[in-house]
Amino acid sequence: MLYLVGLGLSSEEDITVRGLKAVKKSCRVYLEHYTSILMAASQEELEKFYEKPVILADREMVETGCDEILRDADKQDVAFLVVGDPFGATTHTDLVLRAKQQGISVEVIHNASIMNAVGACGLQLYTFGQTVSMVFFTENWRPDSWYEKILENRKIGLHTLVLLDIKVKEQNYENMARGRLIYEPPRYMSISQCCEQLLEVDESKGTKAYTADTPCVAISRLGCPTQRMKSGTIKELSGYDAGEPLHSLVILGRQCHELELEYLLEFCDDRRKFKQDVLRDQEYFKPAPWVPPAEEEDE
Binding residues for S-adenosyl-L-methionine, as ranges, are 9, 85, 88, 113-114, 164, 222, 247
Residue positions in the annotated binding site? 9, 85, 88, 113-114, 164, 222, 247
> What CA–CA distance (Å, rounded) separates 14 from 223?
9
Q: Are 129 and 160 in contact (CB under 8 A)?
A: yes
Q: Is the peptide bond before 95 cis (omega within 30 degrees of 0)?
A: no
Taking only Cα atoms into account, the Rg of the chain, rounded to an integer number of angstroms, comes to: 22
The residues, any chain, with a CB within 8 Å of residue 215's CB and separated by 6 or more, are 231, 232, 233, 252, 256, 264, 274, 277, 278, 281
Write out the H or E segment, with its range, that includes residue 260: helix 258-264
> What CA–CA distance (Å, rounded) separates 110 from 83?
10
Strand-pairing partners, residue 59, are none
Provide DSSP, 120-175. Answer: GGS--GGGB---EEEPPP-SS----THHHHHHHHHHTT-BEEEEEPEESS---HHH
Cα→Cα distances 228→75, 163, 245, Å: 45, 16, 11
